[in-house]
Structure 1
C-alpha cells in the first residue's frame, strides 16, 4: 500500500504563506510611503527650516524664565472653573451616551433605522472639535464656564457613545441567552445580561475621558469660555511669557493631580 505524497499539500501551504507575506510587505510599504509623503507635505523633511527654528525656541524659553507667579491668587477660581467644567462635561457625556450607545449597538437597538440615526448623531458630535463647539455655544449662551461645559460635554458624547456601543456589541452572548430563556424582557436582558459585563469598561473609559476633558477645558478660554485657559490666552496676548510659563506649570500640576486621583478611583471602582 502506497502512502499519499504530502508534497503537493506542503507546496500549496508554502505558496499561500508566501502570498500572505507579500501582501503584508506591500501593505507596509504603501503605509510607509503614505507617511513619508505626509511628512514631506507638512515640512518635516525641511532640515533648514527646523534648524533655523531652534534659536527661536531657545530665545522663547529664555524669555519665559523665571516663571512669574505674582498673579497666582487670581488663578484659583479659574482653576476650579476648569475642574468643574471637566466634571460637568463628563457627566453630560455619560447621561446622553448611555441611551445613545444602546441604540447604536447592533445587538440592543430596537430598529435598524434607530441604529443608523444614533450612529449618525455620534459621528456628527465627534467630528466637530471642542473649540468650534465652544465658539457656537459662546454665541448661543454668552461667555463663561457654561459654553465650555456644553462644548466639552457634547463633543464627549460622540466619543464616549461610540466606545460604549462597541463594548455592548462585544459582550458574551451566553448570559443574554440565559436571561431570555428565563423569560426576561429586553430591559431585563440589558440590565442583567449586558450591563454587568460592560460596566467596568465603561467606568474605566469615563475616568479616562474626565482626564481628557480637564485638558480640553483648559483651552476653552481661547474662545471666551472661561477657566484657566482664559488666563493663559490673556498672558499670551500681552506677550507676558513669564506668566505664560507660570500658568502652564499650574496647569501641569493640576493635570498630575487629576491623573493621580483618576488612577486612585480606577483602582477602587474598576
Structure 2
C-alpha cells in the first residue's frame, strides 16, 4: 500500500512532463507553420512562384551571360587608380564608423550608460543611422559636398555607425560583471571602470566587428561609385552604360579578386587580435 502511494506522485510527475513536452512540440510546430506561411506569401507576392515568368526569363539571362564572356581586361591599367580609391574609402569609412561607434556604444549599453534618457537617445541615433541605406546617404552627400571620395566615406562611415555601434553596445552589455564590480569597489571613476573593467573584455569582439565591417564597406564602396562617389564602381557603371558586357565581367572579376584579398587580410587581423 505504501509503495503504491509513493509511486503515484512519480507517475503524476511523469505525465506532467510528457504533457508539457507535447505542448512545447505543438507550440513549435505552430510557430514553424506561421513562419512557413509568411515565407510562401512573400514568395508569391514577389513573383518567385510565377513559373512562366521565370522560365521566359532564363533564356535572357543565358544570352547576357554569353555576351559577358570572355572578359575584356584590356583597360586593366585604368582600373588600378579606382581600386585604390575604393580601398581607401572602405578603410576611411570603417575608421570613421569605429571612432563614432565607441562612445555611442558605451552610451547605448545599459550597464555603462549614465541614465535611461541618454540610453534611449543613443539607441534612437543608432537605429536612425542603420535605417538609412548607404546608397541614399551617398546621394545626399554627393549633393552636399560634391563628387569624389569624400561623400562615399561619409556615407559608408555614418551608415556603419548604426550597425557597429549596436554590436559594440551588445558586447558591452554581455561583459562579465565581476571585473566591473571589482574595479568599482576599488574606488575607480566611471572612465577607469570602462578602461580597466569593460574594455579589456570586449576588445576582441570590437576588433572582430570592425574587421567584418571593413569587408562589408569594401563591397559597399563599389556601389558608391554608381552615385558619383568615386572608386571602381564608376568604371563599372561606365561599362554598363556602354553595354560593354565583356568589360563588365572583367571589372566584376577584379572586384571579386579584391574582395577575396580583403577577406584574407581581415581573417589574419582578426586572428592577431584574439
TM over 0.5: yes
Q: Which runs of 4+ in 1 moved over 2 A?
A: none
**What corresponds to 1:69 in structure 2?**
73
Please tell me whether residue 135 in structure 1 is matched to residue 149 in structure 2.
Answer: no
| Residue 111 of structure 1: how far off its partner (Å) | 1.1
TM-score normalised by L of structure 2: 0.97
Q: Counterparts of 1:222 and 1:40 in 2: how far apart (Å)? A: 31
Structural RMSD (CA): 1.0
- For residue 203 of structure 1, the aligned residue among 182, 204, 207 is 207
Equivalent residue runs for 1:28-177 within 5 Å: 28-177=32-181
**What corresponds to 1:230 in structure 2?**
234
Please tell me whether residue 11 in structure 1 is matched to residue 11 in structure 2.
Answer: no
How many residues matched? 270
Q: Counterparts of 1:237 and 1:72 in 2: how far apart (Å)? A: 18
Q: Counterparts of 1:159 and 1:205 in 2: how far apart (Å)? A: 9
| Residue 49 of structure 1: how far off its partner (Å) | 1.2
- For residue 249 of structure 2, the aligned residue among 245, 249, 253 is 245
| Residue 181 of structure 1: how far off its partner (Å) | 1.3
- For residue 185 of structure 1, the aligned residue among 174, 189, 193 is 189
| Residue 53 of structure 1: how far off its partner (Å) | 1.4
TM-score normalised by L of structure 1: 0.98
| Residue 18 of structure 1: how far off its partner (Å) | 1.0
Please tell me whether residue 255 in structure 1 is matched to residue 259 in structure 2.
Answer: yes
| Residue 190 of structure 1: how far off its partner (Å) | 0.8
Deviates more, 1:60-69 or 1:136-145: 60-69
Please tell me whether residue 212 in structure 1 is matched to residue 216 in structure 2.
Answer: yes
Q: Counterparts of 1:77 and 1:195 in 2: how far apart (Å)? A: 38
SS of the equivalent of 1:28 reads helix
Q: Counterparts of 1:111 and 1:140 in 2: how far apart (Å)? A: 35
Q: Counterparts of 2:164 and 2:22 in 1: how far apart (Å)? A: 41
